[in-house]
Each structure stands twice: as C-alpha cells, then as structure tokens.
Amino acid sequence: MQEDTDDAVVTATHALADDIALYKRFPALRALPRAMLCTLPSPVEQVSGIEGASDLWIKRDDLDAPLFGGNKARALEFLLGSVRSGDTVLTLGGTGSTHVLATSVHARRLGAGTMAVRWQHEMNDIASTVSTRLGDELSEGQTRGSPIGAMLRCSYLRLTRNVHFIPIGGSTPLGTLGHVNAGLELAKQVELGEMPLPARVVLPIATGSTMAGIALGLMLAGLVIPVIGIRVGPRIYANRGRVRRIAKKTANAITETTKEKIPSVRPELLHIVHDYFGGAYGRPLPAAQRAAELLKDVSGIQLDATYSAKGFAGALDYARKSQGPTLFWLTFDGRWLTT
C-alpha cells in the first residue's frame, strides 16, 4: 500500500475551488472543506454502433478523477474535506463495495488510513476483485453477518475510536453536494452545446445520494429533466421517498450556508425502476451482462455487474423505446481493473 500522500491532492482554498459549477452557483459554499480529488468536468459523449439506440449518450464519470473515478469520488471530495494525514476514516458496506474501496483509495491519497466494517452478499467477478483489493487497501477491516450488524459495530467504533465516519454510500447532505455539482455541470455542458438537452437521465441507484444530488442540481439550473434510477440495491434505500428526503436535506444544508431558499425537487421528475434488480444486490442479471458486452464492443468501456451494467441495461431500453436523447450516467470506473 502506498504510504505517502499524493502530491496531486490538496485541500481546496477559495482560489483553487472557484472553477466548479457548484461554487459558481453558490459562492458561499467555498467555505466548506473540500479535498481536490477530481478533474472536472467529466466528458459527455454519444454512443455509436448499438442498433436501435442512435440517440444514446454517456456522462463519463468514470473519468472524473485521475485515480479511481466514479460517483464516489465526487462525494468524497466533500466527505474527506476535513481529513488530514495520519487520520483514520471509518466506513461500511458490502464485501464487494466500491464505496468502501473508493473511500480507502482516496483517503490514502490524503495520507489517511481506512477502517471498514463489511457484510457478506452475493458476489460477481468484479465484486470479488474489489474485495481482494480491499485486503491490500484497508488499514483495518472487520466483517459482520448483516448490514444491521455492521451499523451496530460502527456505532461502537465511533464511540471508542477517534475516526472520521462516512455512512453507507456516503449518503449525507455533505456528500450529496458533489452530485449537485454534477447536475449543474451537466447543465453547463448542455448550454455549451456539448450534447443536446437530455429527454431523461438514467443511472443505477443503491442508496440514493447520487440521484438526489443530480436531480437537485438540474433543478437549480432550471432544467426540467426526469431522472430515472435503476434499482440495484434493497428497496429500503433505493426508493423515491428516500431520494426526495436526501434532496431536501441537501437543499436545507445549502440554505444554511448560503441563506438562499432552495425549492424542492419536483416528485414527478423522480422515477425508480425495479425491473433490472435481478433479485439480490450483487447478483448478475443476464440482460445487463448482454448490454455491458454491447457497450464494451463499441466503446471499450468496462461496466460492473452490481451497478453500472444494470443501469446501462435500463438506459439502453429507454434509448430504444423512447423519443429524445437518453443520457446514461456512468458511475463506475473500470480503468483500475487493468492496472
């Protein structure tokens, strides 16, 4: 494991952080600590070569950071903002959790260690690869039999250890700010003509923070675009009510800092689709595997069976059956699988 802090990572100052869309919309948010983990904006590009899906686009959040990009990197910029070299970060997730892996990778870039409490779930090839790499990345790891057991263990560790705690999926208002920035970022790319106005945005949803933030960011930019979450996790987390609550809490957090009243995301613009879940978190879905193979054939992009393959399967069906541009939000960075 690399011990030295990555020299490319610095804590944001007012001078360094005024270029992202979130700070242009809310200058007062520059006061929040932020770790400079990402290279933004991530590109948008059209997918060519898939029959019946000529108006399919991808938001390449797999490229949003030089090391282990994806939606987690955006959230971790804020969640790790106050972390310093020598600190310990505590988080939790499944055995093959990319959230836990992203947290450990980026915390290490800041010179911090990561302690994780994980639980067993159905595994696929990439989830198993994630689990193996976590054995090298984590400064300390523990396993419990269920998410409830992991949460209880984390509660105990928070009382007895000096740690920076990040909950499941980083789904807090602070972490969601990274996804609000993503929504505002997309709006600017549409304004600049980098892609047409999407008729819909499609992405996988597990804990809801990414979907909530993107929807809030698009609303703040004045864009009326349905955001469609392809459920890949249990309904207790992946549901519209939870997405609305996260969006509302994040809006309240923005108001608290900026003193600007933020309206609520319109519920009719939030949709959860359950048809691609496959029966269990981490369980591969044959239709998603076929969709992932199609995308890899035409673009070389690697998807994972837990999240992005299921999300892309949903986006591909929308692109084939619906009018107007469909934007698939790619939340998984597959580059590290070959490095």
- Residues 298, 235 share a domain: yes
- Between CA 64 and CA 42 the distance in angstroms is 5
Asked whether 12 and 36 are in contact (CB, 8 A), the reply is yes
The answer to whether the beta carbons of residues 293 and 264 sit under 8 Å apart is: no
Going 153 to 155 to 156 to 158, the CA torsion angle's sign is: positive
Print the domain residue range for 295.
21-71+172-338
Give a yes or no: residue 9 inside a domain: no
Residue 44 three-state SS: strand
152 part of a folded domain? yes
256 within some domain: yes
Please indicate, yes or no, whether residues 286 and 331 belong to a single structural domain of this protein.
Answer: yes
Shared-domain flag, residues 154 and 83 = yes
What contacts 136, CB < 8 A, 6 or more positions away?
Answer: 1
Based on the fold, state whether residues 107 and 205 are members of the same structural domain.
no
- Same-domain pairing of 200 and 57: yes
- Check whether residue 188 and residue 286 sit in a common domain: yes
In a domain, residue 15? The reply is: no
The answer to whether residues 163 and 229 belong to one domain is no
| Residue that is last in its domain, among 121, 145, 170 | 170
- Which of 170, 204, 232 terminates a domain? The answer is 170
Tokens of 255: 């108001």
CA distance 120 to 111: 28
The pLDDT assigned to 270 comes to 98
Q: With 0-12 CB in 10 A as exposed, 13-18 as middle and 19+ as buried, what is 3?
A: exposed
* Count of structural domains within the chain: 2
Element holding 153 (H helix, E strand) = helix 147-160
Whole-angstrom CA distances from 106 to 100, 149, 200 are 10, 26, 31
- Is 95 within a domain? yes
Q: Measured between alpha carbons, how far is 117 from 181 in angstroms, rounded to an integer? A: 29
Of 119, 139, 170, which residue is a domain's last? 170
Do 179 and 66 share a structural domain? Answer: yes
- Check whether residue 146 and residue 222 sit in a common domain: no
Pairing of the two strands 56-60 and 44-46: antiparallel
Q: Single out the residue of 38, 51, 42 nearest to residue 77, CA to CA.
A: 38
**pLDDT digits (tens), the chain, 339 positions:** 344 445 444 443 333 445 899 999 999 999 999 999 999 999 999 999 999 999 999 999 999 999 899 999 999 999 999 999 999 999 999 999 999 999 999 999 999 999 999 999 999 999 999 999 998 899 999 999 899 999 999 999 999 999 999 999 999 999 999 999 999 999 999 999 999 999 999 999 999 999 999 999 999 999 999 999 999 999 998 999 999 999 999 999 999 999 999 999 999 999 999 999 999 999 999 999 999 999 999 999 999 999 999 999 999 999 999 999 999 999 999 998 876
Q: ∠ at Cα 209 (307, 256), nearest 5°? A: 165
- pLDDT value for 4: 45
Pairing mode, if any, of strands 56-60 and 326-330?
parallel
Non-local (6+) Cβ contacts of 335 within 8 A are: 62, 69, 302
pLDDT at 15: 36
Amino acid at site 138: L
What per-residue confidence (pLDDT) applies to 9?
46
Contact predicate 170/76, CB 8 Å = yes
244 domain residue, yes or no: yes
* Residue 242 is assigned to a structural domain of this protein: yes
In this structure, are residues 273 and 251 in contact, taking their beta carbons and an 8 Å threshold? no
Asked if the structure places residue 67 within a domain, the reply is yes
Q: Are 123 and 92 spatial neighbours (Cβ–Cβ below 8 Å)?
A: no
What angle do helix axes 173-191 and 240-258 make, rounded to 10 degrees?
A: 90
Asked if residue 290 and residue 300 are part of one domain, the reply reads yes
164 and 127 within one domain? yes
Provide the CATH number for the domain around residue 165: 3.40.50.1100
Q: Which two tokens stand for residue 56?
A: 């399919």
Residue 230 and residue 281 in one domain: yes
